[in-house]
Amino acid sequence: MLGMNLDPRSKLVIVFCITTLAVVYNTPRALFLLLAGTIGLLLLFRIDIKRVGGYLKPYMLLLLILFLAQCIFTPGGEVLLAAGSLRLVGSRGLLLGTSVVLRLLIVIAAAILLTTSNSRDFISGLVQWKVPYEIAFMVSVTIRFLPLFRDEFVNAVTAVQLRGVELKKVSWGKKMALFRQLFFPLVYGAILKAQQLSIAMEARGFRAYPQRTYLRQLRLNWADYGLILSCPVITLLLIGLSIVGG
For residue 31, the model assigns a pLDDT of 92
For residue 234, the model assigns a pLDDT of 93
Residue 219 burial (C-beta neighbours within 10 Å; 0-12, 13-18, 19+): exposed
pLDDT of residue 120 exceeding 70, the answer is: yes
Spatial separation of the C-alpha atoms in residues 203 and 195, rounded to whole Å: 12
Spatial separation of the C-alpha atoms in residues 36 and 106, rounded to whole Å: 9
Spatial separation of the C-alpha atoms in residues 23 and 104, rounded to whole Å: 10
pLDDT of residue 147 exceeding 70, the answer is: no
Radius of gyration of the chain (CA): 22
Short-list 48, 150, 63, 153, CA closest to 104? 63
pLDDT of residue 58 exceeding 80, the answer is: no
For residue 246, the model assigns a pLDDT of 60
Taking CA atoms, 16 is separated from 20, 218, 232, in Å, by: 6, 20, 9
For residue 86, the model assigns a pLDDT of 63
pLDDT of residue 100 exceeding 70, the answer is: yes
Tens-place pLDDT, residues 208-230: 777 777 677 788 888 888 888 99
**Averaged pLDDT for residues 40-69:** 77
For residue 80, the model assigns a pLDDT of 67
pLDDT of residue 103 exceeding 70, the answer is: yes
Residue 83 pairs in a beta bridge with 86
Spatial separation of the C-alpha atoms in residues 1 and 4, rounded to whole Å: 6
- H/E segment holding residue 79: strand 79-83
pLDDT of residue 42 exceeding 80, the answer is: yes
pLDDT of residue 118 exceeding 60, the answer is: yes
pTM of the model: 0.70
- H/E segment holding residue 145: helix 133-162
**Averaged pLDDT for residues 75-103:** 76
pLDDT of residue 130 exceeding 90, the answer is: no
The set of residues, in sequence order, having a beta carbon less than 8 Å from that of 50 and lying 6+ positions away, is none
Short-list 191, 105, 106, 101, CA closest to 145? 191
For residue 224, the model assigns a pLDDT of 86
Residue with the larger pLDDT of the pair 17 and 167: 17
